[in-house]
Amino acid sequence: MIVHVISLFPEQIETFLGVGIMGRAVEKGLLEVRTYFLRDFSYDRHRTVDDTPYGGGEGMILKPEPLGRAIEYVRENLETKTTDAPVVMTSPHGRPLTAAVAREYGGKPEWIVVCGQYGGMDARVAERYAADEVSIGDYVLNGGELPALVTIEAAARFIPGVLGNEDSADSDTFEDGLLGVPRYTRPPEFHGIPAPEVLLSGHHARIEEWKRRRKLELTFRRRPDLLSKIELTDEDKVFLKDLEKDGSKD
């Protein structure tokens, strides 16, 4: 997978991708991230990339011309010569970055990320290039580099060979629409708090039942909005009904 990142701070992207799982993915040739300095696409002597917004308001807005030139340059130099290299723009206005969105981009051979900055970017750029605006949460950051990195890493987890265990991504939190199960490891007791006995029992059926119920309970208590989006079994519904009644745990 090749990802092209247009940014005012490309070094932030490059530094992150030099370590950890992403660094190893790059070394193996499974992931390639090419960065482009936005100021290189501004033609005035001051290398201007931003301006005050029409209609007033706080903050500076990224100008459409440098952004457009950068996107056009990348499109003209795509490695795969694909006609379907989507443009992703990091924006708090975008659709939420979910596991489904990450999987979608993890299957793309080549795509472009434009990092927002300052007070945002001229809205005509997204319109002109049919950009997919993506948000990593209901908050605002100083720039789009961190959201770009989050999007790239989330997508890269679905590239075969990136993770040590090929099944890891498929069992991640959100893959079945629920929060992940609480996890425990040695020692069996920590500061007087024991690990759940069922996990030490070796009884696979009981363990799987426990995991399902813990996932349902955690989702019910912390992200109940997710429950309306998935298909629940009759057993799931009974268990959730009991939680609604008295908040008790099985």
In a domain? residue 55: yes
CB 1 within 8 A of CB 32: yes
Same-domain check for residues 83 and 139? yes
In a domain? residue 15: yes
Same-domain check for residues 151 and 209? no
Same-domain check for residues 152 and 194? no
Other beta carbons less than 10 A from residue 113's beta carbon: 29
Q: Which range of residues forms the domain containing residue 81?
A: 2-156
Average model confidence (pLDDT) for the chain? 93
- Read off φ and ψ for residue 148, nearest 5 degrees: -65, -45
Q: What's the pLDDT tens digit per position in 206-235?
A: 999 999 999 999 999 999 999 999 999 999
In a domain? residue 182: no
Q: What's the pLDDT tens digit per position in 154-197?
A: 999 999 999 977 667 766 778 889 999 999 999 999 999 999 99
Note the pLDDT of residue 57.
85
CB 39 within 8 A of CB 66: yes
CB 1 within 8 A of CB 108: yes
Burial of 7: CB neighbours in 10 Å, binned 0-12, 13-18, 19+? buried
Q: What's the pLDDT tens digit per position in 111-154?
A: 999 999 878 999 999 999 999 999 999 999 999 999 999 999 99
Same-domain check for residues 15 and 85? yes
Structural domains of the chain, count: 2
